[in-house]
């Protein structure tokens, strides 16, 4: 039985995307009314089709670079393409989505006195000189490179969140999300986990950029969503930024080998030059999340990869 006294009206921008669709699912399961807003740039109706029959779920096609007038209690601002090939497709629109999108959602939150959470990113640390990255680190970001539309857009969005908090006493939460993977990732977005799995399932050559010695930390989507929901539920004085990710670090080559093993693939490895501004090392320090949210990832890499492989097997019809 739904408990109306605890139920909230929650807006999820970018709700038809990879993370957004899992977040909508989780919020519905918690008994909330969910309004999913998306312009379907990278998100799809397939990601949320199974939710459309739920009376408590509502879908609105809308671009967050334009103002939005709705009545909700909480806002999760996830709208923004996250994969380099997607955010570099129209870099001006990417910056607009982060910056105008933040201004519009913060303006909405201010008007209706809603709590608002920003899906920021580990990319605000750029190519970090501090390892692992703590929230105090200011980052090492190229302001004029190919990735800057995303990195600087997200940094500016954080600035706006903190200024709305200081200037207008808005209840904000900023999560710095590190690499997350799982079912509903885009099959062709060039990100390592999805890319390697699709190539492995098709027995195609697996593309490794550089020597594959660059490290990444991979968080399973269910863990990440739990972190976002816990952060939203913290007392008003917990505003972040809070790193959310899995501190288990591995090289890209190790990940590729693991995926080949789990899929039983016959794929070989091919090496290509590193893209510009590709970070060498990325690993979250999650002490703050552990202490302030009582959160840490609990899904092991093999378990998470297996669920993701099963999803892609179904999607691309590979055996």
Site of interaction with ligand NAD (CB under 6 A)? 13-14, 16-20, 38-43, 63-65, 78-82, 86, 97, 101, 119, 121, 177, 179-180
**Min. distance of Cβ 3 from ligand NAD in angstroms?**
29
How many CB atoms are located within 10 Å of the residue 78 CB?
Answer: 29
How many CB atoms are located within 10 Å of the residue 171 CB?
Answer: 18
> Of 179 and 265, which CB lies nearer to ligand NAD in the complex structure?
179
**Min. distance of Cβ 28 from ligand NAD in angstroms?**
17
CA distances from residue 168 to 75, 160, 216 in whole angstroms, order as listed: 17, 11, 37
* Extended strands (E) in 178-222: 180-181, 206-209, 215-217, 219-220
69 is catalytic: no
How many CB atoms are located within 10 Å of the residue 189 CB?
Answer: 17
**Min. distance of Cβ 94 from ligand NAD in angstroms?**
8
What is the DSSP track for 84-116?
A: HHHHTTSHHHHHHHHHHHHHHHHHHHHHHT-EE
> Of 87 and 164, which CB lies nearer to ligand NAD in the complex structure?
87
> Of 7 and 142, which CB lies nearer to ligand NAD in the complex structure?
142
Residue 94 to residue 286: CA distance in whole angstroms: 28
What are the φ/ψ torsions at residue 236 (nearest 5 degrees)? -55, -30
**Min. distance of Cβ 119 from ligand NAD in angstroms?**
4
Cα 305 from chain centroid?
A: 17
> Of 65 and 142, which CB lies nearer to ligand NAD in the complex structure?
65
> Of 39 and 267, which CB lies nearer to ligand NAD in the complex structure?
39
CA distances from residue 117 to 8, 15, 206, 228 in whole angstroms, order as listed: 15, 13, 36, 8
Active-site residue among 87, 150, 181, 220? Answer: 150
**Min. distance of Cβ 11 from ligand NAD in angstroms?**
11
Could you give the residue numbers annotated as active site?
A: 150
């Amino acid at each position: 039985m739904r408990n109306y006294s605890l139920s909230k009206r929650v807006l999820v921008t970018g709700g038809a995307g990879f993370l957004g669709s899992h977040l909508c699912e989780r919020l519905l399961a918690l008994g909330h009314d969910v309004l999913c807003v998306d312009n379907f740039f990278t998100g799809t109706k397939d990601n949320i089709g199974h939710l459309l029959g739920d009376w408590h779920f509502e879908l609105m096609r809308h671009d967050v670079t334009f103002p939005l007038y709705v009545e909700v209690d909480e806002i999760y601002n996830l709208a923004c393409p996250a994969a380099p090939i997607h955010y570099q497709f129209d870099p001006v629109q990417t910056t607009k989505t982060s910056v105008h999108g933040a201004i519009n959602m913060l303006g909405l939150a201010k008007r209706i006195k809603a709590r608002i959470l920003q899906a920021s990113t580990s990319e605000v640390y750029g190519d970090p000189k501090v390892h692992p990255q703590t929230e105090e680190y200011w980052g090492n970001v190229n302001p004029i490179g190919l990735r800057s539309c995303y990195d600087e857009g997200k940094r500016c969005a954080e600035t706006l969140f903190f200024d709305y908090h200081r200037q207008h006493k808005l209840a904000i939460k900023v999560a710095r999300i590190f690499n997350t993977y799982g079912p509903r990732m885009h099959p062709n977005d060039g990100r390592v986990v999805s890319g390697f799995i699709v190539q492995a399932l098709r027995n195609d050559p697996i593309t490794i950029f550089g020597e594959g010695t660059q490290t990444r930390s991979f968080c399973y989507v269910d863990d990440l969503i739990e972190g976002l929901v816990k952060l939203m539920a913290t007392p008003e004085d917990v505003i972040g930024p809070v790193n959310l990710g899995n501190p288990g670090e591995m090289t890209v080559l190790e990940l590729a080998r693991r995926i080949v093993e789990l899929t039983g693939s016959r794929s070989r490895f091919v090496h290509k030059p590193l893209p510009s501004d590709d970070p060498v090392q990325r690993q979250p320090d999650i002490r703050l999340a552990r202490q302030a949210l009582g959160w840490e990832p609990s899904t092991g890499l093999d378990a998470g990869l297996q669920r993701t492989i099963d999803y892609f097997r179904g999607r691309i019809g590979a055996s």
